[in-house]
Amino acid sequence: MARVHVFDHPLIQHKLTILRDRRTGPKEFRELVNEIAMLMAYEMTRDLPTEEVEVETPIAVARSRVLAGRKLGLIPILRAGLGMVEGMLRLIPAAKVGHIGVYRDPATLEPVEYYVKLPPDLPERDLFLLDPMLATGGSAVWAVDAVKRRGGTHVRFVSLIAAPEGIRRLTDAHPDVDVYVAAVDERLDEHGYIVPGLGDAGDRLFGTK
């Protein structure tokens, strides 16, 4: 059964409030998305395995811990997921980055694919799918399907704001995929926008509206 983690860290919540504000422009919006993504990466990676190694300090040999286990992969869902990559790479710089291009048809709200490029060794990696908005869940379910079809097995989904409908659709379709969010909002409106949400994440990131 999928677990849904809601990060209520005060810094994440504070930054999310500024992000939601309609007066926040693209420059600050981009910075905040990256900062929140970095804080979420810190929380999400608590369960990564470590192993003990020896390291020589200027004084003596220390037994100390380093990351062990599977390699990591970040997969932003274009466009808006791109905004989360840099912040996460600051903490996990060795992660490989794949891309999934999908947009939501405004009439049907169904996902439409336009680009997929993923690391070849997907099965060996812990994969983090990134998209700031989990609304109907159509794009998320489609993206997880796309990753699994190409051999991805250990997949987590990371989003800033989710609607209950999107969480339900994603966890029903992919019960093995844990979901990490900064907030679960009230509902979707008649256009499939999250209420209260933050508007169109891609447009606000890139200033296209």
What part of residues 123-152 is at the interface with ligand PRP (CB under 6 A)? 131-140
Question: Is 103 an interacting residue with respect to ligand URA (CB under 6 A)?
Answer: no
Q: Confirm whether residue 194 is marked as ligand binding.
A: yes
Look up 20 and say whether it is catalytic: no
**Which ranges of 118-163 would DSSP assign to H, the alpha helix?**
138-149
Tokens matching residue 129 = 């799918």
Residue 36, C-beta contacts closer than 8 angstroms, at least 6 positions apart: 12, 15, 16, 19, 84, 87, 160, 182
Closest CA to 129 of 152, 109, 111, 103: 152
Residues shown for the chain: 209
Question: Is 201 an interacting residue with respect to ligand PRP (CB under 6 A)?
Answer: yes
Question: Is 193 an interacting residue with respect to ligand URA (CB under 6 A)?
Answer: yes
Question: Is 99 an interacting residue with respect to ligand PRP (CB under 6 A)?
Answer: no
Region near ligand URA per CB under 6 A, out of 8-16, 92-100, 148-156, 194-202: 194-202
Question: Cβ of 205: how many Cβ atoms within 10 Å?
Answer: 19
Can you tell me the distance from the alpha carbon of 206 to that of 209, in angstroms, rounded to the nearest whole number?
8
Out of ligand PRP, ligand URA, none, which partner does residue 193 contact, by CB within 5 to 8 A per kind? ligand URA
Minimal distance in Å, beta carbon 151 to ligand PRP? 22
Out of ligand URA, ligand PRP, none, which partner does residue 77 contact, by CB within 5 to 8 A per kind? ligand PRP
Out of ligand URA, ligand PRP, none, which partner does residue 197 contact, by CB within 5 to 8 A per kind? ligand URA
Q: Largest alpha-carbon pair distance within the chain? A: 66
C-alpha distances out from residue 187 to 149, 156, 195, Å: 30, 23, 5
Cβ proximity to ligand URA, 146 vs 201, nearer residue: 201
Q: Confirm whether residue 199 is marked as ligand binding.
A: yes
Give the three-state DSSP class for 26: helix
Out of ligand PRP, ligand URA, none, which partner does residue 194 contact, by CB within 5 to 8 A per kind? ligand URA
Look up 189 and say whether it is catalytic: no
Q: Confirm whether residue 131 is marked as ligand binding.
A: yes
Please report, as ranges, the residues that interact with ligand URA according to CB under 6 A.
80, 133, 135, 192-194, 197, 200-202
